[in-house]
Structure 1
Amino acid sequence: MASVTSDGTDTGSDGAEAADPLSKTDIFDVLRNQRRRFVLQYLKRHETPVELGDLATQVAAWEYDTTPDGVTSAQRKRVYTTLQQTHLPRMDEVGIVAYDADEGTIERTDATADLTVYLEIVPGNEFAWRELYLSLGAVSLALVAALWGDVYPLTVLSDLVWATLIAAVVTVSAVAHVYHERHMRLGQQEAPPELDYDADD
């Protein structure tokens, strides 16, 4: 049964302080990095704590497009080091995973499952889809207004042709967005969906 501490903080049935909900900033910060997404993908397949070494091997295999047996010691070390020093501490800090640095183990938390819901990520060099749709809307409205005013040379083409062109551009943009979503979503399959091959365990 949940209780409340003297300072008004909610606790769970075991008396532990209830975890704060993840902020969008924290979620975006984690999911915008491919290596962190790979960590979550791996944890989705394991209900019990995993060893850092095993995690690093599989993540390296996904990154270098090979199998775990084909990962070189240098590749594994590179991934292992960044996971140990940077990614896992950050993910543990916001409660997305539980990382025991002393034992070298990582396990899922309640928040891990929450991240299976797709979130549009816009890392530094990726396109901002909201801005694209806003631009398309603005251009379409301007075009319609110009057509109503019989502005030349837009009148060279019929209204039906312009409507078809607008519909085609919006449809192509939507298809591209759906394709992008698939590559940014944590998948249910064994390998991350942004990879085009099936990695072995």
Structure 2
Amino acid sequence: MSTIGDSPTTNAEPEETPGQGKGKTVTTKQVSDNVTEQTPEAEAEPEPLSRDLVFDVLKNRRRRYALHYLRRAEESVQLSELAEQVAAWENGIAIEAISAAERKRVYTALYQSHLPKLDDAGIVDYNQNRGIVELSEAAEQLDVYLDMNTKPSVEWYNWYLGLAVGGIGLLSAAFLGLPPFSMVGGVLVAALVVVAFAAVAVAHTYHARLLPSDGGETPPEIQES
């Protein structure tokens, strides 16, 4: 007959074997490390677009118009909506005034050619089946070219005319011996004028090479803003 003292204790905690708690800690740390290693740190930066690719994309006015509209939308747009606005810009009329033929011509070109080309270049995300398009992160690299086209162009002829007038004035003053030019030789004055012309010519050339091949035409609404 058993007594109370002999009865087993049912709520007694099991004994912990040596190293058991430490083993659990190590296992938890290993799992945590594995999760950390599998978690992506940050999204990869888009690959830089080559200048040849940028110029090839922007040399077509219809593609430029499409990019301008997508930039202003700042979200995905329907292809039909994009085609209507591009057709209106191309014909210089309001959207309500474009004809069915004009709309269809632009829609077909965007659907079959221009948007697939921009999608292959990684500039837009184009879902051809759903007819939805939006700019990708790589499209930000085109901003420097598109924004440049919306600004008034530099009137380089005014720079050259100013240099010519100024150069003639300086050379005339040095030839007549007017102070302080009488203290400076005519050769030095001529050299300064030539250097000034060369500097403007270099700036003009650099500016021209940054522009797309056909002048970088922008939609009328953006030119007026």
TM score, norm. by length of structure 1: 0.56
Matched, 1:191 2:221: yes
Matched, 1:13 2:42: yes
Q: Which runs of 5+ in 1 are unaligned?
A: 6-10, 120-157
Map of 1:113 onto structure 2: 140
**Alignment identity in percent?**
37
Counterpart CA distance in 2 for 1:29 and 1:4 is 41
1:1-201 map, 5 Å:
13=42, 19-118=46-145, 163=193, 167=197, 174=204, 184=216, 191-193=221-223
Sort the Cα spacing of 1:18 and 1:73 in 2 relative to 1 into closer, same or farther, 3 A. Answer: same
Local SS of the residue matching 1:191: helix
Sort the Cα spacing of 1:12 and 1:41 in 2 relative to 1 into closer, same or farther, 3 A. Answer: farther
Local SS of the residue matching 1:117: helix
Quick check: 2:61–2:217 contact (8 Å CA) kept in 1? no
Counterpart CA distance in 2 for 1:186 and 1:65 is 12
Cα-to-partner distance string for 1:78-128 (whole Å, 9 max, x where unaligned):
111111000000000011011100110110111122201128xxxxxxxxx
Counterpart CA distance in 1 for 2:113 and 2:218 is 21
Local SS of the residue matching 1:13: coil
Cα-to-partner distance string for 1:62-82 (whole Å, 9 max, x where unaligned):
110011111111111111111
Shift of 1:46: 1.1
Runs (4+) off by over 6 Å: 158-162
Shift of 1:13: 3.4
Local SS of the residue matching 1:42: helix
Tell me the matched-pair count.
Answer: 142
TM score, norm. by length of structure 2: 0.51
Counterpart CA distance in 2 for 1:38 and 1:108 is 13
Cα-to-partner distance string for 1:178-199 (whole Å, 9 max, x where unaligned):
8x95962779xx8343xxx67x
Shift of 1:19: 3.8
Sort the Cα spacing of 1:33 and 1:13 in 2 relative to 1 into closer, same or farther, 3 A. Answer: same
Sort the Cα spacing of 1:22 and 1:186 in 2 relative to 1 into closer, same or farther, 3 A. Answer: farther
Counterpart CA distance in 2 for 1:82 and 1:59 is 11
What CA RMSD, in Å, does the superposition of the two structures yield over aligned residues?
3.8
Paired AA for residue 88 in structure 1:
L
Q: Which runs of 5+ in 2 are unaligned?
A: 1-35, 147-185
